[in-house]
Structure 1
Amino acid sequence: MAVFFILMFSLILSSSYAAVQDFCVADYRAPSGPAGYSCRRPETVTVNDFVYSGLGVAGNTSNIFRAANTPASAAEFPGVNGLGISMSRVDLAAGGVVPLHIHPGANEVLLVAQGTLVAGFISSDRNTVYLKTINSGDIMVFPQGLLHFQVNVGNATPVLAFASYSSPRPGLQIVDYALFQSNFPTQLIARTTFLGIPEISRLKAVFGSTN
Structure 2
Amino acid sequence: MTDTTLTHPSLDRPPVFTQEELDWLPWLEPLPADQLTDRHWAGLVDAARSKSDYFMLLARDPDILGARTKTDKDIFYNTKMGLPRAERELSAAAASRFNGCIYCASVHARFASQFSKRREDVQRLLDEGVSVTIDSRWDAVVSASVALSRTPAAFGQTEVEALREAGLDDLEISDVIHGAAFFNWANRLMLSLGEPARRAA
Same fold (TM over 0.5): no
Larger radius of gyration: 1
Question: More strand per residue: 1 or 2?
Answer: 1
Question: More helix per residue: 1 or 2?
Answer: 2
| TM-score, structure 1 as length reference | 0.27
Q: Which has the higher contact order (CA 8 A, sep 6+)?
A: 2
